[in-house]
Amino acid sequence: MTMQLILIRHGLTEFNRARIFQGQSDSRLTEEGLSQARLLAPRIRALTTSPRLYTSDLGRCRQTAELIRDPDHHELIEVTGLRERGYGLFEGLRKEDIPGLHPEVWSRYESGDPDYAVPGGESERAFRQRAVEAVEAIADRHPGELVVAVTHGGVLSSFACHVLGLPIFDGPVPFEVGNTSFSRFLRDDGGRWTVRCLGDQGHLGDPSAAEVGEG
């Protein structure tokens, strides 16, 4: 039986706005981020979904999930594997400050080597494996169902690259998944995934105005 998975990126955070690497550290949603989640909520509640709504255990995702769920239908299930990539040394730093503070580490990071991990963080290869395994585990529990999960830009991008057959690389992807974007994936009986839609922000009214930040 074909199952459908909707992956949602969390709302805009203070760190997103300030261009600070979040990784597995956290910051709360801005007023805009809260508004984004509230605008998304009717879209989620109009669907016939599994009563289990999954979320990364990081606060920005949990906060988004609380705002979009139907409190009379959805139970929130936290999944550590849906966390953003760990950026170690970079977390909490403004992107433009890092080259001056850690030039050698930044140069290695910018090289695009998928096996390089910032000290204290994860490599892109290890991160993709972790993200894909977490998503597959959710899908395995819900054959034939429509499931919603709230996660991070990195997880969404990494999983979409996996489904699209793009190679593992540490660099910009050829698509955007902005805050509270809605992406739908289908998995058939043979375990094959397809992308139905990616990065849809139609619920925001003016998606061109949405900001995109790290994590």
84 in active site:
yes
Q: Which of 36, 35, 44 is nearest to 69 (CA)?
A: 44
14 in active site:
no
Task: Describe the strand order of the beta sheet including 3-9 as a list of residue ranges.
Answer: 75-79, 52-56, 146-151, 3-9, 182-187, 193-200
Cα-flanking dihedrals φ and ψ of residue 213, to 5°?
-135, 175
CB within 8 Å of 129: residues ≥ 6 apart: none
Catalytic-role residue among 10, 74, 152, 203? 10
Catalytic-role residue among 31, 32, 74, 84? 84
Taking the C-alpha atoms of residue 78 and residue 175, their distance in angstroms, rounded to an integer, is: 27
For helices 153-164 and 124-141, the axis angle rounded to 10 degrees is 80
Question: Dihedral of the CA atoms 116, 122, 126, 128 (nearest 10)?
Answer: -110
Q: Which positions are annotated as active-site residues?
A: 10, 84
